[in-house]
Structure 1
């Protein structure tokens, strides 16, 4: 009581010193276990006094910085007292929630989101100043440790109603959380300042001007920007009886994306926020635990079960994620997806679909031609499947004998969950994706989340090049270059295995007999060329896929002791001439690592043009 009197006296003295004339007695307008707010009626309008626990005492400092340095829509702090953990701020209108309860206006909710995401955007490049203040670090790489610390508070959680079995399950989900955080990090959405309690109840609005002010920054942390936006969406669902399929909800979620459209496509943003929603219960639990630790425990008796409720929400979220079915309705697709095996009736439509995307579908087209549409003992065979939407093909994919997924979609939506689920029902174990980068990466992230104990080994983003044969530049060969034949197998195998090792790909998980069989098939089709120096095979290159008048070259390699002699350029030119003159090819494509500057220079010097990016993503199952 003495402290309350001291705080009120300080507020009156501070207001008097600044020229405010008080009208009547102060009035307590809000009291929670972690803060209280008192309103003063003055000659210059309402002024509010807020008291916080020491653990949340950064609120006036953060608010002042946001107001003064970033011109953010936050209250103006009149005075603060660090010793008493309180501060005074100007009144800024009335509760947005109260206004909307009587007159629901979705546009005002969208406006509130945009005011907040503006703050997220402008503050994002200045996080160091907030770290220096002591704002908690909840970035995604820190979240697993924070989670482990939280679920380790067994006495606290049991006192809040959690059972021993639930606690054990939460501890087991630690690795799942780590994987989910890694995947969300892969979207490259940068961390920023997070309000931690952003909703319409913490937004004030001036009825006449519709100017908004975001209050209550005491729980601020630094983390992924979507978490606090999900808090806002969840609150809107609860208070205004919205559903995620409602257009109002869709519009609100789209407003959340406004600052990130240059970074990611709409489909990828939806995927990112969908994953963020599954992690959100952990974020909410951490926030509530922080409030509890900042206040007296007995004051939280009326909120019994809230902390454990958040954590049960995480358990449910992980269960729901694992429950995706093959024919599912995705969050951002209104039509049912149907996966069917490629059959005779679909063969023509499938080839036509792949031909539309020829430059990124050559592996599929070539394998379909060479090995057929079903899985056999051949290394690159696989069960070809079509993803149908309204009976039209929107994706074609095949999981090969060695576990690499070849896939092509229409790029109109993200079909990752449907495709991955279909692959997990195959007899072959999934271990990688080879496709257009924009298709491969989301499938890969989905697969890593779906497959227990799956470790990423390789994630390569390759530049995709194309050459029209009419632009081919001829270079006279100074060495012996010829088709490889059976007698070259031993030398070829040694070079090819070093190539795979250097690239860290190790694509061919096949025994020596299967490798030899594949080599003989390729040599019979005259796919491999080799360059010889004094009878020794030192450079190799091949047509690794061919369909119609288009070829794809790859497996380009020179022995380490014979490099920087121009041998590779010499060999590639002869391989291209062979394609043009003997195989009637009009176009050739290839891909190389985006950091392989020597190879990039070589290909561009030969006339290749960049046309996109290709993904090579591989992993392994761990026991």
Structure 2
């Protein structure tokens, strides 16, 4: 993780300018025209965040979205073509990709699942989880391609080194004594991480794409299709349940042993053979080491940002790392 604040030729100060929007729009217009699609109205910029921005283009084919991730999440640009090739029914298939400028041109996915507390919404979430598991199974054959395309390599054999990398990167930007203590305690979990990595390696389930932020606001109801792959890594697939199960539990205010959460877990595991005792042991190992991926993702996203843009969320990687250090319930 070497990109730091000041290394950027984009970011909110650039993305907010008319000149950048004009360049991005011109590229999108050309790419769409080559595919028989024309823009029909003014371009909007509904999202402008420190780590990415999005433009919405009304076109003859409906809304089209131009996404520009920052350098910390740039791997998403390389991942989309691989995912679209291997599992097109589970993701948005890009109109175009510009890897050098980190631009993605995507069709509209429709309504997201969201956090509706109805039986029908739960059924859609279960369907999405099962579909996502099938995507992972298919894409496992392309794991090396995903790493070559830019996905961080968090496969079991890399986890001990990943702990040290995450701790080093977190230590380099600590501000408070509490943050420094979290990093020190996380380093002392090396033995546990080695043990859990062994559990994952012995399991035999092939590593694959692991979205790393799988929640219902990142899933389109139609399909369902998963989007927003900027945090994705190549890892043991079950690590995706770290976020997915917490997201399932949160709206109800319940723990992870609640039947509604277990139903979501089991829907995800169905394509993998269901929740056997052996599988559940692997699930817990994957979810625990998945904390390292979440921490690393936040550090990647925040590293290029100037302090004033990172201020509101700079504590996020330490909150995740503290869960590993404290052995907190996931």
* TM-score of Structure 1 vs Structure 2, range by shorter chain: 0.7 to 0.9
3-state DSSP of counterpart to 1:75: coil
Counterpart in the other structure of 1:13: 30
1:251 aligns to 2:263 (yes or no): yes
1:25 aligns to 2:42 (yes or no): yes
1:131-150 CA-partner distances (Å, limit 9, x unpaired): 33232211111111111122
In 2, distance between residues paired with 1:107 and 1:16? 39
Q: 1:161 to 1:190 in 2, by over 3 A?
A: farther
Deviation at 1:225, TM superposition (A): 0.6
Counterpart in the other structure of 2:12: none
8 Å contact 2:163–2:187 — kept in the other structure?
no
1:90 aligns to 2:100 (yes or no): no
Q: 1:193 aligns with which of 206, 209, 219?
A: 209
8 Å contact 1:184–1:276 — kept in the other structure?
yes
1:159 aligns to 2:194 (yes or no): no
Superposed, which structure 2 residues align to 1:39-118 within 5 Å? 39-97=56-114, 100=116, 105-118=121-134
1:162-200 CA-partner distances (Å, limit 9, x unpaired): 344333322222222222222333333321111222211
3-state DSSP of counterpart to 1:158: coil
1:301 aligns to 2:311 (yes or no): yes
Q: 1:278 to 1:220 in 2, by over 3 A?
A: closer
Counterpart in the other structure of 1:427: none
8 Å contact 1:97–1:200 — kept in the other structure?
yes
How many corresponding residue pairs? 313
Superposed, which structure 2 residues align to 1:525-604 within 5 Å? none
1:405-448 CA-partner distances (Å, limit 9, x unpaired): xxxxxxxxxxxxxxxxxxxxxxxxxxxxxxxxxxxxxxxxxxxx
Counterpart in the other structure of 2:8: none
Deviation at 1:113, TM superposition (A): 0.4
Deviation at 1:161, TM superposition (A): 6.5
Counterpart in the other structure of 2:154: 138
Deviation at 1:115, TM superposition (A): 1.2
Deviation at 1:124, TM superposition (A): 1.1
In 1, distance between residues paired with 2:75 and 2:325? 32
Deviation at 1:118, TM superposition (A): 0.7
1:260 aligns to 2:272 (yes or no): yes
The structure in which a higher percent of residues are helix is: 2
3-state DSSP of counterpart to 1:193: strand
1:511-540 CA-partner distances (Å, limit 9, x unpaired): xxxxxxxxxxxxxxxxxxxxxxxxxxxxxx
Counterpart in the other structure of 2:285: 275
Q: 1:296 to 1:303 in 2, by over 3 A?
A: same
In 1, distance between residues paired with 2:180 and 2:70? 32
Q: 1:4 to 1:214 in 2, by over 3 A?
A: same
Counterpart in the other structure of 1:221: 233
Q: 1:101 to 1:47 in 2, by over 3 A?
A: farther
Q: 1:238 to 1:69 in 2, by over 3 A?
A: same
The structure in which a higher percent of residues are strand is: 1
3-state DSSP of counterpart to 2:228: coil
Counterpart in the other structure of 1:239: 251
3-state DSSP of counterpart to 1:66: helix
Q: 1:101 to 1:10 in 2, by over 3 A?
A: farther
3-state DSSP of counterpart to 1:236: helix
Counterpart in the other structure of 1:311: 321
Q: 1:6 to 1:103 in 2, by over 3 A?
A: farther
3-state DSSP of counterpart to 1:181: helix
Unmatched 5+ stretches in structure 1: 322-623
In 2, distance between residues paired with 1:47 and 1:247? 39
RMSD, matched Cα: 2.5
1:234-254 CA-partner distances (Å, limit 9, x unpaired): 112223434323221111111
8 Å contact 1:67–1:75 — kept in the other structure?
yes
Counterpart in the other structure of 2:51: 34
Higher relative contact order (CA 8 A, sep 6+): 2
In 2, distance between residues paired with 1:65 and 1:278? 27
Unmatched 5+ stretches in structure 2: 1-16
Task: Calculate the TM-score normalised by the size of structure 2.
Answer: 0.85
Deviation at 1:295, TM superposition (A): 4.3
Superposed, which structure 2 residues align to 1:493-532 within 5 Å? none
1:283-319 CA-partner distances (Å, limit 9, x unpaired): 211121122235445421111311110111112217x
Counterpart in the other structure of 2:9: none
